Amino acid sequence: MAAEQTYLMVKPDGVQRGLCGDIISRFEKRGLKIVAMKFTVIKKETAENHYGEHKGKGFYDSLISYITSGPVLAMVLEGDNAVSVCRNMMGKTNPQEAPVGTIRGDFAMVTGMNLIHGSDSPESAKREISLFFRPEELVAYKRTADEWIYE
């Protein structure tokens, strides 16, 4: 098992709809390890940094006001191929194209309210983790269940 870390975030709609528990539970049950978690309202400049790749697109302004509109639950999860495993669990960006069984496919209806963010590559994960967490906020520990999750 090559431990990889990824950045996940329950967006303001997920928090307001009371879906944090359901979403965390899916990742925990799958076998992802929680390394850090933070409940916070994102500052505008942090949001602009996080979503810098989308600057200039038609939905950019509404995306920034959406992601800063209320608290988010930010987390770092770890596991074998955690980035792609978590992206697959989230489902496609447009929830109407996300398969049933994914987070967006089960709980969301439109792209502008798609509940969750997840890093799209290991490089994005490193950048996003360092944007939202200080190094000392990542908790290193041995999880005994790992020997029943990985061979």
Q: Report the nearest approach of Mg ion to the CB of residue 124 (Å).
A: 8
Between 36 and 67, name the residue whose CB sits nearer to Mg ion: 67
Q: How far apart are alpha carbons 85 and 21 in whole angstroms? A: 19
Cβ atoms < 10 Å from Cβ of 106 = 16
150 contacts: CB under 8 Å, gap ≥ 6: 1, 31, 80
Which option in ligand IDP, Mg ion, none does residue 101 bind, with CB closer than 5 to 8 A by kind? none
Q: Report the nearest approach of ligand IDP to the CB of residue 149 (Å).
A: 26
The β-bridge relationship of strands 33-40 and 3-10 is unpaired
Q: Report the nearest approach of ligand IDP to the CB of residue 80 (Å).
A: 21
- Binding region for ligand IDP (CB under 6 A): 59, 63, 93, 111-112, 114, 117, 120
Residue positions annotated with a catalytic role: 117
Amino acid, res. 22: D
Between 40 and 62, name the residue whose CB sits nearer to ligand IDP: 62
Between 80 and 120, name the residue whose CB sits nearer to ligand IDP: 120
